Amino acid sequence: MNIYDVSAKAGVSIATVSRVLNGNPNVSDKTRSRVMEVMNALGYTPNVFARGLGLNTMKTVGIMCSDSSDPYLAHAIYYLERELRANGYDSILCCTGSKLINKRQYFELLLSKRVDAMILAGSKFVEIDSAEDNNYIIEAAADLPVMLVNGFLDAPGIYSTVCDDRDAMYQVADRLIKSGRRRILYVYTSHSYSGENKKRGYRDALAANGIPVRDDLICQCGKNIAAAKELLISLADSGLDFDAVMTSDDSLAVGAVKFAHARALDMPKDLAVVGYNNSMMSYCTDPEISSVDTKIEALCITTVQSLMQVFGGGDVPRKTTIAADFVQKQTTDI
Amino acid sequence: MNIYDVSAKAGVSIATVSRVLNGNPNVSDKTRSRVMEVMNALGYTPNVFARGLGLNTMKTVGIMCSDSSDPYLAHAIYYLERELRANGYDSILCCTGSKLINKRQYFELLLSKRVDAMILAGSKFVEIDSAEDNNYIIEAAADLPVMLVNGFLDAPGIYSTVCDDRDAMYQVADRLIKSGRRRILYVYTSHSYSGENKKRGYRDALAANGIPVRDDLICQCGKNIAAAKELLISLADSGLDFDAVMTSDDSLAVGAVKFAHARALDMPKDLAVVGYNNSMMSYCTDPEISSVDTKIEALCITTVQSLMQVFGGGDVPRKTTIAADFVQKQTTDI
């Protein structure tokens, strides 16, 4: 007997059952009566996490990420856990994978544990093509704070801390152009809030410098070193000419360095390469890869600080933006 | 008011208070009375996780690791969380850092949450030089199962799943020797259960092949690419001659590849390089680094399977050993 059974039997969402349990006024009297009837009929009592037992909080925050073994997200989890613990909060971790149905299920599962807040780490949690697919997050935010790390959803109760990816990419492209590069290949992994901002920065910098944006210089690629290397080889073989490669992830930049080695290109003279996230990978290659430090530690610290302010009843902006840093190493001279 | 206050006031350990709460018979009547008196005097009631409220389990497991942003541990957490969730268990994550005092504090904190079991990920949790420093783990294991991932402590209630690091290193060294290498440098990061087994494998293989073990060919180094590169440069500059480098971690092997590049050495002809953990880093370099796959996914799956058997009252061996795999890439020809 759990909140799922009540939700199914009453024909309402988990979030609605949660609202009734919390005494949230945003439930119609009719719905509230229906849910209470079902609870009585089923003999349901809220679980031990429930605030209804007279305990105001479990001091526990749910953290969701698509894949904690991704280096960027692994760091996010490390910093979030550290900051939450420093503030006296436990974190229940949930790695959801990338499918919407699983994200929704795990989200509801964590809600049913009566966590005090949810943190969604990484930009993969906001569906940018089908806004209605985000409704489950927006609905839940009526009951508890939802914090997005490097994602953005404009709704009450949702607080986003984002890296200024658009500006970071703009600056890199602008500096490459001003140092003489004209045919900058842009290779990216995913269609997401963060991914679209990065691409926009690249496009805007070209436009601002009077360079036409060419579709054949913008390519998608799996987040995989070998795939990126092969992509660049096939592009070069097909006659495409490029003097710089900007990427949305360091793994793609490592593939670009391997392409340059395979073709005996000098870096940065013949080919400039720029990674993204300034991960350990960017330090493994020879030459080391210039990359964008997306300040994941600062993002996580700010996320937890904002959450504590929300808990304290403070006025927190729905969106906080943090600037990235370009870390020049050996694959650029800009 | 919490279990700490009771522990402090009664002058007994958290584990003892926990035993009293659990009705564990391994507490003297005198101690039990004392703890109960203090609880009454302080008005203490067990927190909502407590089994004492008539709930047998929170279906929650505490996971401790020293640093979730380390690639090996990041994967461990990912697999542990996935397997626990598949079995209906939540995980509360705790990144402790490397100091014993912090490990102990976090361990007690998680115990006070009344988790159903503890999983300690990584070999850094067992102190191999000062056995008494492990007593807090051995004591806790009287009350709840403690699972060690790639660490070993021989005590009731502690179940270890370990990679056969000694055999993995033995096989690598043996193959290097049989392919003609005679001056194999061994570079390692840490003094731990796993670290000592790796070193033993190296030593045993040399001894078995009649090659003297030379102390000047065994070096410790920080887990850092640049430090490893500099160490090898200074060793070579000091006149040390070596035709192969075995390492206890891929980051050191990346440093060795950078050393070889700096000295224009051909790999593997002039220098063979072997990494450990077969992480993403070993795929970033040119040439790619041959490395030992330590089967972290299998270790984690086995750990959770063993835990479920323990929960079910099954007979589980205190130590399960899983064989590693050598993944030959481009820095060896063995």
pLDDT tens series, chain B, 334 aa: 567 778 888 888 877 877 777 666 778 888 888 888 887 777 665 543 333 333 346 788 999 988 777 888 888 998 999 899 899 898 888 888 888 888 888 888 888 877 899 999 988 888 888 888 999 999 999 889 999 999 999 999 999 999 999 999 999 999 999 999 999 999 999 888 889 999 999 999 999 999 999 999 999 999 999 999 999 999 999 999 999 999 999 999 999 999 999 999 999 999 999 999 999 999 999 999 999 999 999 999 999 999 999 998 889 999 999 999 999 999 999 9
pLDDT one-digit tens code per residue, B57-102 = 678 899 998 877 788 888 899 899 989 989 989 888 888 888 888 8
In a domain, B328, yes or no: no
pLDDT one-digit tens code per residue, A168-215 = 999 999 999 999 999 999 999 988 888 999 999 999 999 999 999 999
A14-22 and A29-42 are packed helices; what angle lies between their axes, rounded to 10 degrees? 90
Contacts of A49 in chain B (CB under 8 A): 48
User: Could you list the residue range(s) of the whole structural domain that residue A191 is in?
Assistant: 165-294
Q: Note whether B277 contacts A: Cβ–Cβ < 8 A.
A: no
In a domain, A313, yes or no: no
In a domain, B59, yes or no: no
- Of the listed ranges A67-71, A99-103, A214-218, the one predicted with least confidence: A67-71
- Of A15, A61, A55, A27, the closest CA to residue A159 belongs to A61
In a domain, B225, yes or no: yes
| Percent of chain A topping pLDDT 70 | 93
Specify the CATH number for the domain of residue B188.
3.40.50.2300
Tell me how far apart the terminal alpha carbons of chain A are, to the nearest angstrom.
62
- d(C-alpha B99, C-alpha A328), whole Å: 34
| Whether A81 and B75 lie within 8 Å, measured CB to CB | no
Of A71, A113, A286, which is closest to B71 when you measure between CB atoms?
A71
In a domain, A318, yes or no: no
Contacts of B170 (CB under 8 A, 6+ apart): B201, B202, B204, B205, B208
pLDDT one-digit tens code per residue, A127-184 = 888 888 999 999 999 889 999 999 999 999 999 999 999 999 999 999 999 999 999 9
Specify the CATH number for the domain of residue A26.
1.10.260.40
Q: Note whether B84 contacts A: Cβ–Cβ < 8 A.
A: no
B193-208 and B165-178 are packed helices; what angle lies between their axes, rounded to 10 degrees? 30
Tell me what pLDDT residue B48 has: 35
Burial zone of B99 (CB within 10 Å; 0-12 exposed, 13-18 middle, 19+ buried) = exposed
Written as one string, the DSSP assignment of B54-90 is: T-----EEEEEES-TTSHHHHHHHHHHHHHHHHTT-E
Contacts of B258 in chain A (CB under 8 A): 286
| Whether A284 and B286 lie within 8 Å, measured CB to CB | no
Entry pTM: 0.81
In a domain, A281, yes or no: yes
Tell me what pLDDT residue B54 has: 33
In a domain, B42, yes or no: yes
| Whether B94 and A74 lie within 8 Å, measured CB to CB | no
- 197-236 of B, contacting A, C-beta below 8 A: 225
Among the candidates B263, B278, B294, a domain finishes at B294
- d(C-alpha B173, C-alpha B176), whole Å: 5
Contacts of B71 in chain A (CB under 8 A): 69, 71, 74, 280
Contacts of A2 in chain B (CB under 8 A): none
Structure token pair of residue B195: 């670290």
Which residues partner with A293 through β-bridges?
A325
| Secondary structure of residue B289 in the 3-state scheme | coil
Q: Note whether B254 contacts A: Cβ–Cβ < 8 A.
A: yes
E strand or H helix that includes residue A137: helix A135-140
Radius of gyration over alpha carbons of chain A, in Å? 23
Tell me what pLDDT residue A44 has: 65
In a domain, B158, yes or no: no
B246, B176 contact by CB (below 8 A) = yes
Confidence of residue A49 (pLDDT cuts 50, 70, 90): very low
| Secondary structure of residue A8 in the 3-state scheme | helix
Choose from B47, B93, B291 for mutation: most chain A CBs within 10 A.
B93
B266, B45 contact by CB (below 8 A) = no
Confidence of residue A43 (pLDDT cuts 50, 70, 90): low
Q: Note whether B261 contacts A: Cβ–Cβ < 8 A.
A: yes
CA B230, B232, B235 angle in degrees (round to 5)?
Answer: 110
Counting the structural domains of chain B, the total is 2
| Whether A95 and B75 lie within 8 Å, measured CB to CB | no
